Structure 1
């Protein structure tokens, strides 16, 4: 982008925010639904990686990226249901099970994914929203994948569902007070089971995006911790799907900062900016765990049954 000077930096950040934020959108909205039911799923990293592998493998064998995306969603659903089923037993810790499933999912993906490192699977389609411009960099920045648009719609749909439907009310009651939910005849374990399953399915779709569009290949380092960062993102978003969308765009822009500087010829120390998403995650965790101020508001917004509020 050196031919358009430093205008390349905001263009690169814009394009990066669109591309990098998409898996964050799906994983964070899924985890938001899970946590609103009163359960934490730290196994999303393993679900994301396994979804990326299974989606890539199915897309390769069927020559259909959409078949791969559905397969990734199904794989994520199974992981979420497994997590929810194990956590229903007495004295089982959500966080410990999540960590175990994160390791389990990543291990399975690395084991079964070895034959798919070299083969090339079809990519998910993108919409060229920059067709009106003659600037190649702007065209590239506005080359938007379909899943990004689906994620935007999903954020508003999930927010509306939680606020205005009986299913949303049931999820919120189960997450705020298990005793109140049982008094209303709600099966808390079933609500949390399916909420965790939905969260896993959305994480699987986020994984399919990674392997089938950006970066668009399968390898063992494809996730870079995005599943774990999404958990911090949900806390920062105060358990709101729409806020998860905005926070995902923020994380996506931070992730694009390093490549954007490199694109305009800044070669000294630019790699430090590649750590921006991780520094941002650490800062958000510190901010939301400190006493008073925004931390108090964030914890107040948390579902009452979450472990972090007890």
Structure 2
């Protein structure tokens, strides 16, 4: 046996490393959507925001030579989509779900149109931290090489949970999300709160897109997202609108997405493509479980359209 061959231990190790890598965009998008939905609005346009953020981040990183400027550009692009969604949804007789789907199509179309010149050029990658420095095994070192945006997403999730629990801003968002009338009675401005919440949620989705194009898989192409923006909406429901629970839910979805490559790494080649469907099967299962008529949507904001 080669000293670098760790046998079957390579499967859980590959799943761990893959879960961390794959879960990062899920985590960023779901934490942002958690804020949006806690304010009483659902944004189904996150897929378009994610793809446009990936394109804009890659383009700016290539043009400037700085991946961090690419991340900032992706956040600004995502916030712009969030502001557009929030502004249109406050108009009379406008459905937030329909607006979200429209912006999803718009974002993907704009990304495909403006991103064609950047399919071949190579932009600089985002840095990562080698937490596996203590091991001589390359598999351990690769699995524990963690991107900075993953750590940033965890910090944002923890701070957001604390905000909901202990700050006036968090109270404002929760009241607006539970009852528009009660929020107005307390002197809050529901439309303004939802506008800002949707903008922040869009900015985080844009950063998630920049992670895809600037780190993993680390290139720009038109199929880069694979539906992760839409799956993140199901992840928020699975996490019961709790930002900290989004961390574990994102790792679960990420682990499901890493299952196929992990099996391939130990030589399982027959039928392993079926395991690539694991995240989609998991999403379908979450949607079926949460749509049961015998189970209420515990933790769902009262003003959210899917609860009515």
State the TM-score, normalized to the length of structure 1.
Answer: 0.98
Matches of 1:191 and 1:207, distance apart in 2 = 24
Matches of 1:151 and 1:85, distance apart in 2 = 26
Q: Select which of 279, 287, 305 maps to 2:303.
A: 305
Deviations 1:49-105 (A, max 9, x none): 000000000000000000000000000000000000000011100000000000000
Compute the displacement of 1:291 (Å).
Answer: 2.4
1:137 matched to which residue of 2?
A: 139
Q: Select which of 63, 70, 77 maps to 1:61.
A: 63
Q: Does 1:160 align with 2:158?
A: no
Q: Does 1:52 align with 2:50?
A: no
Deviations 1:223-268 (A, max 9, x none): 0000000000000000000001110000000000000000000011
- Match of 2:298, SS state, is helix
Compute the displacement of 1:308 (Å).
Answer: 1.0
1:73 matched to which residue of 2?
A: 75
Matches of 1:161 and 1:231, distance apart in 2 = 21
1:199 matched to which residue of 2?
A: 201
1:278 matched to which residue of 2?
A: 280
Q: Select which of 29, 40, 43 maps to 2:42.
A: 40
Compute the displacement of 1:152 (Å).
Answer: 1.0
Matches of 2:149 and 2:197, distance apart in 1 = 21
Q: Pairwise mapping of residues 95-244 of structure 1 onto structure 2 (< 5 A)?
A: 95-244=97-246
Compute the displacement of 1:301 (Å).
Answer: 1.1
2:85 matched to which residue of 1?
A: 83
How many residues align? The count is 306
Matches of 2:307 and 2:251, distance apart in 1 = 27
Matches of 1:177 and 1:142, distance apart in 2 = 44
2:271 matched to which residue of 1?
A: 269
1:248 matched to which residue of 2?
A: 250
Point out 4+ residue stretches in structure 1 off by more than 4 angstroms: none
Matches of 2:169 and 2:6, distance apart in 1 = 50
Compute the displacement of 1:3 (Å).
Answer: 2.5
Matches of 2:291 and 2:195, distance apart in 1 = 28
Compute the displacement of 1:147 (Å).
Answer: 0.5
Matches of 1:29 and 1:5, distance apart in 2 = 36
- Match of 2:146, SS state, is strand
- Match of 1:118, SS state, is coil
Q: Select which of 93, 96, 115 maps to 1:94.
A: 96
Q: Pairwise mapping of residues 286-301 of structure 1 onto structure 2 (< 5 A)?
A: 286-292=288-294, 295-296=295-296, 299-301=297-299
- Match of 1:3, SS state, is coil
Deviations 1:168-199 (A, max 9, x none): 10000000000000011111100000000000
Matches of 2:110 and 2:19, distance apart in 1 = 30
Matches of 1:35 and 1:113, distance apart in 2 = 30
Gapped regions of structure 1 (runs ≥ 5): none
Matches of 1:153 and 1:30, distance apart in 2 = 13
Matches of 1:204 and 1:162, distance apart in 2 = 22
